[in-house]
Structure 1
Amino acid sequence: MNAAVSRSDDVLKVHRLVHAGGSTALLEWLASHLGGWVGVVDAEAEHGPAPEAAVRGAAELGARGVRSAVLHGADRATLLFALDGRRVLAAVLEQPHHPGAPALLADAAVPLDLVLRAEEAGRREERVRRAEAQVREAVLHLLMNGQLSTAHQISATLGPELPDPMRMYVVECPPGRRGEVMRICRELTGGRAWIVRCPVYVRHLIVLAPPDPAAVPATGDPLAEALVAAAPECAVGVSGEAGLSEAPAAYTQAFHALAVARASGDGHARFGPGPELALAAYEAGVRWAEALLAPLHAHAPRRPQDPGAQELRATAHAWLNFTSRATRLLKIHRNTLTARLRLIEALLGLDLARLADQAALSLALRLTSETGAGAGPGAGAGAGTGDDASGAAPGLDDVLRDPRLTDWARTHLSALTGPDAPPGARDTVRAWLAHDAQLLPAAAALGVSVPGVRKRLTRIEALLERSLLQSPSARHDLWLAHRAEDLAGCHKPQKG
């Protein structure tokens, strides 16, 4: 009777361990309880270091085609029980071994077999989940680089179809809840949205959803409202309606709107209306942009492993948007990023430590495509400042003098001097831009603390409805707007 009670207790213990700790917990308890080595041996791959007797015994069990066996040695016994496939539960015990060992191992074999299969299925499911996440991220990369046809082909294998037109949402989730918010978003959109975990910001989801006919400025955005209602700790930024070909601009809009949403009592915000720089500058600036980027577009790598023109362009775009975090987006080492940036600087004659040259490159990338390699001469040193000795293409200052750019600049900066602007808003922004958007020298120039400048810029973010302190930042457009105003004679020119 005592033996029966002991065996039933052991069986209960086995099942509890399987449910609570899986195969590892069960095998560790069996080894401790029986006072020997207990493990799973595979004919093709060992599950952990196994004694030679266990490996040899597992091979013999398979060769004989039996379900269990005991092999006796001089001072040890090897107990073997076949599991699913080619796996074997083996125990190597000193003689004399625990009298209940054979029964206990036989009782443990079935639940162990089941939990091993469940763990294997879980690992396969996790691999599939990671693969799907990587494919979705790859589709996002393709959209951001203008490769719509390939993006459509790949996305069709997963579904749903990429919405075109669409609105882009950047959802900032509480730590550890991105998966839950992703599920909520799928339910709210009826599975029609393309949802991607942001490769740069670990708390962000990027959502491409078909436009809702009810999403008019007067009533807000139904999806953003529903997301915040379902997950109140979230903040949601929403782009304007856009085609898939406008995905990069839509992401920037949604990211700027997110900066407003954080400070909003509603927890969500739509990108504010206003003229787009690329539209205002295209006619006057496309020739300048093609000339500036011609050396990059014409670049041919010396070795197969070196980056080509497309990779360098993607690197420049990623770095301008995300600075050092671009390594996460591009999946490269920080030293590789630094080397590529140095090559871009050498090709274009720019100093990317200067905000002026960053702004020039940012605008040029927006005005051209990856295939814009048919540019004429005139790029290189001084291209970002308008010093083009050949006269073959205009300089940046020539572009910014265009009346359309002057109008854009005045509209873009009008909020800084409007009735809702905090005191000194224009001076704060000018000092920040004059010091390459660095807080420490800007604070010294303004005679305030670094936290003081940060607070001022945070208030100005809400005023402009643009992100300043987090990338993608509006600092490049702000520099260009101030430069255009200076050239129009509205203000004294500041040094770039």
Structure 2
Amino acid sequence: MHVQTGVSGGAVARRAEDVLAMQRVVRKDGTRSLLRWLALRTGARVQLTHANGSAVSGTEARLDREEAEFVHRGLRELFSRRLRSMVVDSESCTLLLLPLQGPREVCMPLLTAVVARPAPADLSLLLADAASVLSLCWQAEHTERKRQRLALAEAHNREAVLHLVMNGHLSAARQVAGVLHPPLPSVIRFYVVECPPSERGHLAVRCREVADGAWIVKCPVHTDHLLVIAPAGAPALEEAFTALADDCLVGASEELPLRETATGYAQAFHALAAARNQPCRHAEFANRPDLALTIGPAAAAWATGVLAPLHAYAARRSQDPDSETLVATAASWLAFSSQATSHLKIHRNTLSARLRLIGELLHLDLDRLADQSLLALAMRAASLPVPAHPQSHPAHGGTGGAHSLDGLLARPAVLAWARRQLHPIRTGPSPDGLDQTLTAYLRHDGRIGPTARALLLSTTATRKRLARIEGLLERSLLRSPSVRHDLWLAHRAVALAEGV
């Protein structure tokens, strides 16, 4: 390449203006904006190209087939002759190749320009200046991409640990957590922090600063939630979290053993519903006895019979879900409803197919809230110890016998539990209207549209009533995990006692 030694003052000024313009442009959108500027400035098709001839993603120029083959030939010639740069002419166009400069361990791309002949006289010098700017800019972008990939990988690993511990795989969860740090505590307090989705990443960083030893994960289901597993015994973190941002809410669970992390999440989620009505913007779970614990060992015996077909299921094909996968799917769907697809990382059609199979195995219609509530109780009760000599129990949740669902709900302790659940609604403001609304909502399988039509209300008015019920109960009703399964069981227990 021949460089003239006598350069006019106008050319020097024009070059300085171009360099300044490149520095301004590159601040807007990095390499992409600079490549667009070069294309407009020179009339060339400009892109960044890998050594194999493929364009760097996001920088592709509109090259026709002949020009693309011309670039491949030029690259082969450049590398075979071990040149630092190259200008190649064809009958109709000129190709300029300038490798970007960077560390040896980084595979830097090349600046490639194809322009119709004759090429502008100052094009080579302009591209050399651009290559210098692009080298620095591309390295910075490459470093940021690596940082983002590492952050994403760590986030996925932390989410995987959360899945393991919530599904009861404590040994594997502890091993992975021990590598990522901090280690998982034996006794925990679970927090759900709600904030605008756009602020979640920044708030997660700040939460780590005030929550020493806590395990913080972005919720895979709700994009406005952060999940925090903190060691029990440490100072409560509700006030510290709410002080970080004016628009965040915090729900906290009781102190629980690590194996009950799923319960801790549900408690914190329900406490979050109560926090919406608190001026301090945080709330702790209001302890109420769990129905499965209220029933006692008989619930475990009944649950064993209900879930036996699910646990005994053997997949016919290797690609079909096994019994463990079906159990995990049922638990996720009961907790998150249709958003279980985000939790399980599966397609909605896959979720529907698994739910159909679960319903067939258990002889349940999972579109009905009654059967959903039966399954939810069975899943909770399955973790209780089974009596050493359990009485006979049916293989599914029928309505007859001492160990049917109705038989369990007819117990005096369960009736007392049910009345405690419904007490805030039946003694609160406008008790008749709220109780009627809740009854209609449960009767119509937790669907707002049919509930509104039955009450001759708009969906907005119905939703407002349900939100008031949510506030009185201090439990989440409209968002999953929802208290609707417990409420259906409570209504059923009271109806059995009153002969309704």
Q: Is the 8 A contact 2:177 2:184 kept in 1?
A: yes
Q: Is residue 394–residue 404 contact of structure 2 (8 Å, CA) maintained in 1?
A: no
Q: Deviations over 1:430-488 (max 9, x none)?
A: 2322232233443444454433332222112111111111111111111112222333x
Distance 1:299 1:72, change over 3 A: same
The reply to whether residue 27 of structure 1 matches residue 74 of structure 2 is no
Distance 1:86 1:254, change over 3 A: closer
> Which residue of the other structure, out of 393, 404, 407, is the alignment partner of 2:413?
404
SS at match of 1:242: strand
Equivalent residues of 1:294, 1:377 under 8 A apart: no
Distance 1:387-1:45 versus aligned 2 partners, 3 A rule? farther
The answer to whether 1:211 aligns with 2:232 is yes
CA distance in 2, matches of 1:354, 1:437: 9
User: How does the TM-score come out when normalised to structure 2?
Assistant: 0.89
Question: What 5-or-longer segments of structure 2 have no aligned partner?
Answer: 1-8, 102-106
Q: Deviations over 1:228-248 (max 9, x none)?
A: 222111111111111111111
2:3 is matched with which residue?
none
Matched, 1:417 2:426: yes
Q: Which residue, 237, 240, 249 being the options, matches 1:235?
A: 249
**1:303 shift after superposition:** 0.5
AA at the equivalent of 2:263? A
Residues 319-330 of structure 1 aligned to structure 2 (within 5 Å): 319-330=333-344
Q: 1:271 to 1:370 in 2, by over 3 A?
A: closer
Distance across 2 between alignment mates of 1:74 and 1:447? 79
Supply the distance in 1 between the matched residues of 2:129 and 2:434 (Cα, whole angstroms): 75
Counterpart for residue 195 of structure 1:
216
Q: Which residue of 2 aligns with 1:463?
A: 472
- Which whole-Å CA distance do the structure 2 matches of 1:295 and 1:259 have between them? 36
Q: Distance in 1 between matches of 2:411 and 2:111?
A: 79
Counterpart residue number, 2:174: 152
Alpha-carbon distance change, 75 to 284 in structure 1, aligned in 2, over 3 angstroms: closer
Q: Please, which of 474, 485, 488 is the counterpart of residue 494 of structure 2?
A: 485
1:340-419 correspondence runs (5 A): 340-369=354-383, 379-380=394-395, 383-387=396-400, 394-418=403-427
Per-residue CA deviations over 1:136-157 (Å, capped at 9, x if unaligned) read: 2211211221111111112222
Q: Distance in 2 between matches of 1:307 and 1:371?
A: 27
Q: Which runs of 5+ in 1 are unaligned?
A: 216-222
Larger deviation, residues 231-240 vs 204-213? 204-213
Corresponding residue of 1:219: none
**Kept in 2: contact 1:291–1:376 (CA 8 A):** no
Supply the AA of the counterpart residue of 2:408.
V
Distance 1:214 1:24, change over 3 A: closer
CA distance in 2, matches of 1:52, 1:110: 26
**Cα distance in 1 for residues equivalent to 2:356 and 2:478:** 24
SS at 2:163's partner residue?
Answer: helix
Superposed CA offset, 1:274-329 (max 9, x none): 21223212322100000000000000011111111111111111111221111111
CA distance in 1, matches of 2:478, 2:96: 65
Q: Percent identity?
A: 47
Residue 295 of structure 2 is aligned to residue 274 of structure 1: no
1:87 equivalent in structure 2: 109
Counterpart Cα distance in 1 of 2:112 and 2:189: 58
Give the match for residue 315 of structure 1.
Answer: 329
| TM-score w.r.t. length of structure 1 | 0.89
For residues 96-140 of structure 1, the C-alpha deviation after alignment (integer angstroms, 9 at most, x for no partner) is 321111211111112212222222222222222222222122112
Q: CA deviation at 1:352?
A: 1.3
Deviations 1:401-455 (A, max 9, x none): 3333233223222223336674543333223222322334434444544333322
Instruction: State whether residues 211 and 241 of structure 1, in contact with CA within 8 Å, keep that contact through their aligned partners in structure 2.
Output: yes
